[in-house]
Amino acid sequence: MTVRDPRTRDDIERGEGSSFGLLVSGAASFPASIPARIRASIAAHPLTRERIARWLLPADSGGAGEIRALDGVRAIAALSIVAFHILLHLHVEYLPLSRAIGNVWYYLSMGVPLFFVLSGFLLFRPYARAMLSGAALPSWTRFYQRRALRILPVYWVALAVMLLALWTVANRPLWLNALAHVTLLHDDFPRFNRDLDGPFWTLAVEVQFYLLLPVVAAGIARVVRGTRSAARLLGALLGVIALAEALRWLDTRLMASVTPDALAHGGGEAARFILGLATMGMQGKSLEIFFVGALCATVYVIATEREGLGRRLQRRAARGLLLAALLISLVAAPAWQLSTALFTPGAQWGAAIILYPLVVGVSFGALTLGAVWGGPVVRAIFAAPPLRFIGLISYSLYVWHAPILRGDLPIFQPLPLWLRVICAFVVAYLSYQLLERPFLRRRQRLHQSAAERAPSQRSQQDASAAPPMR
């Protein structure tokens, strides 16, 4: 039994018994002044409230395989980051009450690792299915095409707007900064990491996930081979997480071994400095967090899609997982300062800083599985229409909210904060409709064309493998 609702939004909106009525019933209802050709066209494509709703509401992008509760989890991630930046703008950290509780609200910034866990969960699920069924892995080309269509249009438009707004007021040239951001390499440059728009650094990290995932998945597939072994797959993913932690530890050793003037000194110190930045970035590459999401996706496929765990047991597990996520967060939240460490030549990072991202990632992995395995009440909360709406526009909200809240864009500077918050959601919705949605449709067409080609390719393979007719 699966937790996902097999219906798409279109299925629901076309459902029988709908109370929506026609707004336009035919050409005869229009004034005679409207040309007959236009009236005939409108009559052939009547404008109904269903059609308006399908256009105005964000469209499901997952089709029959979508897990709707994850939209709510994605909304929680986005809202936590927006709330964090609002509190920063209000300078809440200087208030006595905030200081008394250790500014624990800084843990809201952990919406970023929650996004990373969700990315790992959603992107690795097709690979887990393929390895466990013995099928071919997803196409590298189509994977990269779909990822590019998903993130680049909104990102590049937002980047262009930010550059236009800052170019006239900047006291320094922005060409190198712009080039680093356009190519999504700014995470590896201390000068540019969070210079234009703070949230942009996470997109550079996400792109590195995308570049590595097919490569790592191919390596895991070699471990699993044709055995379809769940144990091998889970073990390989745990090994990848361990390697990611080892890389983080090695990066901290490289960072501690150099000085701020390492590039000027040249030689081995400069090489260590460059290698450390390339493999660590400014705050670590978060590979362990991403592959915690991949591990959770594999557990989900085994337990739910392959019916390895009954529905009743899934609900029991969900309660335990949600409780574990809460308890880990309660322990991790007061230690939020461990998450703020950045690449600092000569700094010594202890085990607490190195392991903190993994601990947070495990808590969010538990939250994700708890949300998708939960009973009707849990799923109703995470799949509630307001949360799903925010979840579906969350990428645009994440990209646009910070410059709007800060007033970096001149049009929003005179507005009070509460009105800027409203504008952030309005701009996110318009960005979704005008920038995201057209490319999401194109991405869906790529998926459909690939799915249509797959049966013919399988039939050709079956025909070539069949014995000759006598």
Mean pLDDT, the chain, whole residue set:
84
Residue 81 CA to residue 420 CA, distance in Å, equals: 15
**216-230, 285-299, 362-376, 437-451: segment of lowest average pLDDT:** 437-451
What is the per-residue pLDDT across 72-95, written as a single tens digit (0 to 9) for each? 999 999 999 999 999 999 999 999
The confidence band for 32, taking pLDDT boundaries of 50, 70 and 90, is: low
| Beta carbons within 8 Å of 217's beta carbon, 6+ residues apart | 124, 127, 137
The better pLDDT of the pair 48, 315 is held by 315
Instruction: Write down the pLDDT at residue 442.
Output: 78
What does the domain layout of the chain look like in residue ranges?
66-375
Instruction: Write down the pLDDT at residue 252.
Output: 93
Cα–Cα distance list, 184 to 104, 180, 211, 343, 367 (Å)? 31, 6, 12, 18, 30
The confidence band for 197, taking pLDDT boundaries of 50, 70 and 90, is: confident
Instruction: Write down the pLDDT at residue 225.
Output: 86
Instruction: Write down the pLDDT at residue 38.
Output: 56
What is the per-residue pLDDT across 257-279, written as a single tens digit (0 to 9) for each? 999 888 888 888 999 999 988 88
| Beta carbons within 8 Å of 424's beta carbon, 6+ residues apart | 82, 397, 400, 401, 404, 405
What value does the mean pLDDT take over residues 153-169? 89
Cα–Cα distance list, 360 to 154, 161, 318, 396, 424 (Å)? 28, 33, 18, 24, 28
Instruction: Write down the pLDDT at residue 43.
Output: 57
- Whether the pLDDT of residue 147 is over 50: the answer is yes
Instruction: Write down the pLDDT at residue 203.
Output: 94
> Are residues 131 and 90 in contact, defined by beta-carbon separation less than 8 angstroms?
no
Percent of the chain at pLDDT > 90 equals 62
What is the per-residue pLDDT across 16-31, written as a single tens digit (0 to 9) for each? 333 333 233 343 444 5
Instruction: Write down the pLDDT at residue 463.
Output: 41
What value does the mean pLDDT take over residues 364-382? 94
Fill in the amino acid letter for 251: D
Percent of the chain at pLDDT > 70 equals 80
Instruction: Write down the pLDDT at residue 126.
Output: 95
The confidence band for 356, taking pLDDT boundaries of 50, 70 and 90, is: very high
- Whether the pLDDT of residue 296 is over 90: the answer is yes
Residue 415 CA to residue 423 CA, distance in Å, equals: 10
| Beta carbons within 8 Å of 370's beta carbon, 6+ residues apart | 317, 318, 319, 321, 322, 325, 378
